[in-house]
Structure 1
Amino acid sequence: MGDENGVEMSTAQKRRSEDAEHDDGRRPAPSRTARIRACAECKRHKIKCEPVNNETKCAKCLRSGTECVPYNMNQRFLDEDAVWKESATAELRQLRSSVQLLLRHNKLPDVEQPTEASPVVSSRQIDNFSPANVISEHGHSALVVPPPMDMTRDPSAEPDSLEEAGLATVPMRSLYDLTRIRNLSNSNRLKPKSASYEEDFIAQGLVPLAKAEELFKRYITDIRLYLWAGVLFPYDSLEAVRRSSSLLTATVLTIAALHTPGSNETLQECYNIFVSLTYNACLSRPQNLDDIRAQALAAFYLSNLSWKLSGLAVRNAVEMNIHQSFQKLMRGHEDQRDNVRLWYALYVCEHQCSIAFGRPSIIHEDASIRNIEQFLDSPNTKPGDIRLCAQVALFKILTEAYNTYGSDPEQPLTEPDFQQLRLFNFAIEQWRISWQSRSADSPVIGSYPSKGVVLYYHFARLQLNSLALRALPPPSAASSEPLSYDRREAANIAISAATSTLTLIFEEPDLRCAMAAVPIFTHTMVAFCATFLLKMTRTWGSIAQPQSPVLSSEPIGLGLNFNVSQVLSLSRRSASFLAKVAENLNEKHLTRHIVHGINEFLKRIDIATTPAGTHVTALPVDGYTGNDFLQMSDGLPGDSSADIANGYNMFDLIGSYGFGFDETFFGRVSSTNVDFWETEPF
């Protein structure tokens, strides 16, 4: 200890003398790396460790030729830090010299020397930087330096704003009033920021301008009007949307590329840019309504990101107080009407995603949802507003049903539950009567607005009444108890609704034309209806009357009005129709996966029945006739349900509130190799 204290004292004396010489103007001492105590070799021999100028080793290690390793590990960090800083300084000098040379060659003014006003990063700031990985616009992982935690005070706040805020404020507002920290503010005074389109991804050449114009035109012409007449996209030119939001620009280009056949490379480029911009917006404070529109629009069309994007869009909208726009509109602020439209669109988007996944919604019924008629009672109402409010009213009913029955697939409905189910069915009937007549036809998309109301009506009835079959024990031909009248009535309504949904799409020309441009929720309707009916065939179709092997003309066991032959025909027609739709879409569109899933399910049913000697008559794709029927022996094999469960299975969708879909579903039914829909980080 004595030797070490002596070393420290002598070092301190030398430093004082060197500083004195430097102050006197004499020749400064050579640079020498500060050393913390002795190295490991000198410590082992218990001798004084003498550093040598301009050398990394001490005198003892130089004489013996051994490695000079600091005894204290902090010394190693100091040595590495000194080497890094010296190398960085040399590179900065070289870069500055090169830049100066280029500027002189191009007859440009030299770079000014740093002044007190120009920010210079100190070595201490560099040491405190912590890098993080994000996705760049090229789709690759990039190393970025996150900004420091901002705890600065808001200089624009008035000292007397505590009096203006009133007594009854939310807790976080009170905290902001006391601290004035920017990050605690609600940002309700922020104005939409204008993006410089001279610097966006199109200007950088990541997407050529000609290709962007082509994709934008496709979106405006073929897709935009099918989502409430373009409520979420109020722009008519690419330049206008580029000036407003790069994220919204990337969204519409990605959606257009997804609906363009043979554009895999362009789709991947646009998708990478969209994901990169979304990453950047996740932890930043929202300042642009168009960025929220972009997130909602992407949630309607990008199946792999819909759930997460809908929640992100809702949170950002609430942070910008969009949920309070309805009250402001009712007080005469007409400039809030677009904000109310956005809030309604977010309500529908979030509830569609919640229902598809069987999860609770995060937007609850508020004054704007309860008073949509007041919103429509205005001369500024547009046709798209009526279509939007119609879906708001429908999902209000379905959400109430979810809160009543839940989504637990192991919780069956009791007999008293069917009285409430009748009230929900009556509400759905009244909804159709009220909104179908108000949804006027369009000169561009024809009768899709009114026919879309009928489509959602049938699908809502299927979703509600399929709960009658939830958590019922597996039936068997040997022993099966008849269903109660109420349960059988609801189950038959669900079967009829699923059949009507598919039939309506096949028979209505405007609906057939719209299927290539509608959001993924409509495609999911088809998938759910076909799967529900095929599950019914597989689960309940084996219970036949012992004396009759033909099921096409007799109801199946337990009193359900179910025609197996018709179900197989409708399922094949669904796959055939969606396959034609997919020809005009990108290979990675959800429709192709649905087609493969339905065909695979049909094949599994055929495989399950063939080993036991059961023969399935091939049915034409275009429909079925009176001679088409399913011939069966005494029944399906008793263990065939396990065969399907162990093989391909599109989840048990019968009787569960929600489709049972999750992020892995579309990977299971993928008809191609693994693509970016399954591998992206969201």
Structure 2
Amino acid sequence: MPAIKRPYPGHPGPELTDCGTPARSRFDSLLKVSKVRACSECKRHKLKCETKAGEASCTRCARKGLKCVVNSELHRLIENDNEWKSHYVSQLEQVQNAVCDLLRRNEMPELPTYPSSYSRIPPLIMEPATPAAAPVTIEHAEHANASSAMAMTRENSQEPTLEESELVAAPMRSLYEVTKLRNLRSNLNSSVGNGASPPSALAQDFISRGCISIEEAESLFAVYNSTMNQFLWGGIAMPHPDLDSVRRASSLLTAAILAVAALHIPNSSDLLNTCYKEFANLVSQSTLNRYHTLDDIRALTIGAFWLSDLSWKLSGQAVSIATEMGLHQCVRKMLKGDRTQFEGAEVWYLLYLVDHQFSTAYGRPPIVREDLAIRNFKTFLECPESSQRDIRLIAQVTLFAILSKAYDLFGSDTDQEISEDSFAQLREFNVQVDQWRLHWQPQHLVSPYVGTYPSKGVSLHYHFAKFQINSLSLRSITPSARLSTDRKEAADMAISSAIATLHMVLEEPDIRNSIVGVNLYTHAMVAFSTVFLLKIAWNWKATSLNVDQAQVYDLVERIITLMSSVRASDKHITFHIANGLRRILTHLRLREGKRIETQVAGEEEKVVVADDEDTSSLGFGFFDESWNDFANLMDMFDFLQPGHWPTD
């Protein structure tokens, strides 16, 4: 086939089909090949072979009396070559038309917007050259596609169908019915089934690209599946049995699982950075995607539960995408008898926990409120598809429903103390938490992966909840204030719950052994309980509160030892908690020593910080008025804020 020349500047270019590919007439013109006309004698002498009309021999052969023979084999070879090329061009055109039709039916971008994987091969039809033309890479093409012009494509059916539409629907649905613009269509109209990524996703993920080997990926998947996945309510967030099925389901889920697993493996910085970068890039690319799957949402929740640098954003993004997909409607549809909505409902309950755990951690109001789904959890558990992991999940959901009511009643303003009249409601919340533990703990069975952690975890979260509720009694209260009987009772209960939390972490084997694998919320609550006790022991030891400074310091030292001894990547949050607590405890003991020295000398008590003293803890409000502000604690440890994960 002859070479195809670049069109000259100003050339109008080939006529294109509806899907942006060259028209058939252009293909035909490319395949036209001149016939072989010169005879053998003229060709041998490199002379022009001229044949008069109606004569069998050329002019030269007739004049010299030579036999005029044309090389028919070469002519036949060229004709055959032209024939098979024409055949395959026809097949290529059929494939292009079929792909364009499939893209239109699935409301996906048009074919020309997809970059070619073979950027080194020149295209069949080349655009006119420009004076400053630069090579176009795949990355540049993808960026151009992401920032392409605003699409205002209408549906194939242009006629409105008011007879079949809902009378009272969301306003955007009515706008869509009027305009028929595809970019107005919401995922509410699509099924909630666990769709899969395109078949090409597996061939294009970072394992296939060679960023990590398949052996490394299999090893990371095994670590996650047997540990972290089991701590997360028995595998709710990752239901796939093997790595291959995960890769086929979602590249985003694959990257999330491997990044979290790498975070829990010692001396794996390079592997962690590779997986983390891939996950962060995929999250960034998916931000403006219109279509997502349940596995994409699961990937965001997994990242939020363990990747401290991204959790602040991923938790909100997961809820936002889920509402676009209509997961909040799954339970309502289940109540009407549609059992196909079970998986979507399960993911919605998971998102409820993600949202409420991190609303607590970051001191922000939750997005997902107590709705029909939360109130009808019994119907969910009665489904034939329900299992032990769903019992563990719903137990947590019902606990955070109680805590949400307390949040709504008392608010989150750390400058606003609760009134004396509020302690009746506070006691009611304590009773509800007590009843919660009595109801759910017996239903948690021993796990073949994490032992008695499910049952012990109920007790741990029970102490978390009691601590959170009763610590409100000291909100915006100074150590010099006179405490009423009700306030002192609640404060002592908060202290005892915080101490019980640390005792469980230190002394219950299945809790102690799991401290490295549990999610970020558990680490945050352990840190919160520890700092609360340190502040009480330092600022309130002269009051009538039931606190023993020596006991608190001993517990903190043991927590530091435990957190420092875990086997994980140096970026794991436990190491940062241990280092932060060590600095605080050292600082307090230094100040305590100086206080004792001044008292022995008979001088007025006055603490002077030396020039070379580590004052890092002072800069985070450790002794300011917002001493029981949970969000303030997060700043102090600097482990829940964005921007602290090196990317090199």
Q: TM-score, normalised by structure 1?
A: 0.71
Give the letter aligned to residue 564 of structure 1.
Answer: Q
Alignment-derived partner of residue 592 in structure 2: 609
Counterpart residue identity of residue 197, structure 2: S
**TM superposition shift of 1:134:** 9.6
Matches of 1:400 and 1:633, distance apart in 2: 52
In structure 2, the residue matched to 1:567 is: 552
Query: Alignment partner for residue 349 of structure 2, among 330, 335, 344?
Result: 344
Alignment of 1:402-413 (within 5 A): 402-413=407-418
* Alpha-carbon offset, residue 508 of structure 1: 0.9
Between the aligned partners of 1:390 and 1:273, the Cα distance in structure 2 is 34
8 Å Cα contact 2:594/2:607 also seen in 1: no
Please tell me the residue identity of whatever aligns with 1:151.
M
Look up the match of 2:580: 597
Aligned pair 1:195/2:198, yes or no?
A: yes
Measure, in 1, the Cα distance between the counterparts of 2:509 and 2:144: 52
Secondary structure of 2:595's partner?
A: coil
> Are the structure 2 counterparts of residues 349 and 632 from structure 1 closer, same or farther at C-alpha, using a change threshold of 3 Å?
farther
Residue deviations 1:339-381, cap 9 Å, x none?
1110000000111010011110111111001111111123322
The answer to whether the 8 A contact 1:501-1:529 is kept is yes
* Structure 2 residue aligned with 1:626: none
SS at match of 1:231: coil
2:582 pairs with 1:579: no
Paired residues of 1:172 and 1:184 also in contact (CA < 8 A): yes
Note the C-alpha offset of 1:112.
Answer: 7.9
Deviation at 1:505, TM superposition (A): 1.4
Aligned 8 A contact 2:220 2:262 in 1: yes
How many angstroms does 1:426 deviate by?
A: 1.1
Deviation at 1:668, TM superposition (A): 7.5
Q: Is the 8 A contact 2:350 2:393 kept in 1?
A: yes
Q: Contact between 1:468 and 1:487, CA under 8 Å: does it hold in 2?
A: yes
Deviation track 1:303-323 (CA, whole Å, cap 9, x = no partner) reads 111121011011111111111
Deviates further, 559-568 or 115-124: 115-124
Task: Mark the CA change 1:615 to 1:450 in structure 2 (over 3 Å): closer, same or farther.
Answer: farther
- The one-letter code sitting in structure 2 at the alignment partner of 1:344 is Y
Alpha-carbon distance in 1 for matches of 2:629, 2:287 = 31
2: CA distance, partners of 1:615 / 1:503: 35
**Structure 1 position 669, deviation (Å):** 10
Q: Please provide the CA RMSD for this pair.
A: 3.8
**Structure 1 residue matching 2:436: 3-state secondary structure:** helix
What displacement does 1:238 show?
0.8
Determine the C-alpha separation between the residues in 1 that align with 2:448 and 2:310. 33
Q: Distance in 1 between matches of 2:343 and 2:213?
A: 32
Q: Secondary structure at the match of 1:240?
A: helix
5 Å matches for 1:120-199? 146-155=147-156, 157=157, 159=159, 161-187=161-187, 188-189=189-190, 192-196=195-199, 197-199=202-204
Task: Assess, with a 3 A threshold, how the Cα gap between structure 1 residues 171 and 563 changes in structure 2: closer, same or farther.
Answer: same
Give the aligned partner of residue 72 of structure 1. Answer: none
Q: What one-letter code is carried by the residue in structure 2 that aligns with 1:154?
A: E
Partner of 2:358: 353
676 and 421 in structure 1: CA distance in 2 versus 1, 3 angstrom threshold:
closer
The CA distance in 1 between the partners of 2:577 and 2:340, in whole Å, is 42
CA contact (8 A) 2:266 2:568 kept: yes
Give the whole-Å Cα distance in 1 for the aligned partners of 2:420 and 2:274: 54
Alignment-derived partner of residue 277 in structure 2: 272
- State the distance in 1 between where 2:325 and 2:500 align: 42
Q: Quick check: 1:313 aligned with 2:318?
A: yes
- Which residue type is aligned with residue 491 of structure 1? A
Aligned-residue offset at 1:272? 0.5
Aligned to 2:470: 465
Cα deviation per residue 1:422-447 (whole Å; 9 max; x = unaligned)? 11111111111111111122232111
CA offset digits 1:489-527 (Å, max 9, x no partner) = 110000000000000111111111221211011111211
Residue of structure 1 in register with 2:439 after alignment: 434
Specify the SS of the correspondent of 2:513.
helix
Residue pair 1:222, 1:517 contacting (<8 A) in 2 also: yes
Partner Cα separation in structure 2 for residue 308 and residue 565 of structure 1: 39
In structure 2, the CA distance between the partners of 1:639 and 1:561, relative to structure 1 (3 Å rule), is farther
Q: Partners in 1 of 2:130 and 2:250 — Cα distance?
A: 33
5+ unaligned residues in a row in structure 1: which ranges?
1-29, 33-107, 544-556, 617-630
Helix, strand or coil at the partner of 1:483: coil
Q: What letter is aligned with 1:660?
A: N
Structure 1 residue 463: Cα displacement: 0.8
How many residues are matched? 528
* Change over 3 Å in CA distance of 1:177–1:223 after alignment to 2: same
Instruction: Quote the offset at 1:396 in angstroms.
Output: 0.7
| Matched residue SS, 1:220 | helix
Alignment of 1:345-494 (within 5 A): 345-473=350-478, 475=479, 480-494=480-494
State the alpha-carbon separation in 2 of the partners of residues 269 and 680 from structure 1: 9
Letter aligned with residue 677 of structure 1: H
CA distance, structure 1, for counterparts of residue 601 and residue 499 of structure 2: 23
Instruction: Please tell me whether the aligned partners of residues 583 and 617 of structure 2 are also in contact (alpha carbons under 8 angstroms).
Output: no
Q: Is the 8 Å Cα contact of residues 160 and 178 (structure 2) preserved in structure 1?
A: no
Q: Distance in 2 between matches of 1:125 and 1:659?
A: 56
* Counterparts in 2 of 1:152 and 1:426: CA distance versus 1, 3 Å: same
> Could you tell me which amino acid in structure 2 is paired with residue 355 of structure 1?
T
Distance 1:413 1:565 in 2: 30
What is the SS of the residue equivalent to 2:596? coil
Taking the aligned partners of 2:463 and 2:332, their CA distance within structure 1 comes to 34
> Is the CA contact 1:463–1:657 (under 8 Å) kept in the aligned structure 2?
no
Query: Contact conserved, 2:262 with 2:272, CA < 8 A, in 1?
Result: yes
Deviation of 1:135 after TM superposition, in Å, equals 12
Stretches of structure 2 that go unaligned for 5 or more consecutive residues are: 1-7, 11-83, 98-110, 113-124
Please give the residue correspondences for 1:43-192 in structure 2 after superposition, counting only pairs within 5 Å: 146-155=147-156, 157=157, 159=159, 161-187=161-187, 188-189=189-190, 192=195
C-alpha change, 1:656 and 1:178, in structure 2 (3 Å) is: farther
1:660 aligns with 2:643: no
Q: 1:386 to 1:282 in 2, by over 3 A?
A: same
- The answer to whether the 8 A contact 1:534-1:568 is kept is yes
What secondary structure sits across from 2:416 in the alignment? coil
Q: Distance in 1 between matches of 2:499 and 2:213?
A: 46
Cα distance in structure 2, aligned partners of 1:357 and 1:661? 10
Distance 1:31 1:380 in 2: 66
Which residue is equivalent to 2:78?
none
The amino acid that maps onto 1:508 is: E
In 2, the alpha carbon distance for the partners of 1:257 and 1:199 equals 21
| Match runs of 1:190-269 below 5 Å | 192-196=195-199, 197-269=202-274
Paired AA for residue 415 in structure 1: E
Q: Distance in 1 between matches of 2:444 and 2:239?
A: 21
3-state SS in 2 of match to 1:416? helix
Structure 1 position 636, deviation (Å): 6.3
Distance 1:650 1:425, change over 3 A: farther
Alignment partners' CA distance in 1, 2:378 and 2:510: 28
1:127-154: CA deviations, max 9, x gaps? Answer: 9xxx9x99999xxxx8876232121112
Q: Which amino acid aligns with 2:484?
A: S
Inter-partner Cα distance in structure 1 for 2:320 and 2:224: 27
Q: Is the 8 A contact 1:609 1:636 kept in 2?
A: no
Deviation at 1:613, TM superposition (A): 3.4
Matched residue SS, 1:230 = coil
Structure 2 CA distance for aligned equivalents of residues 502 and 634 of structure 1: 37
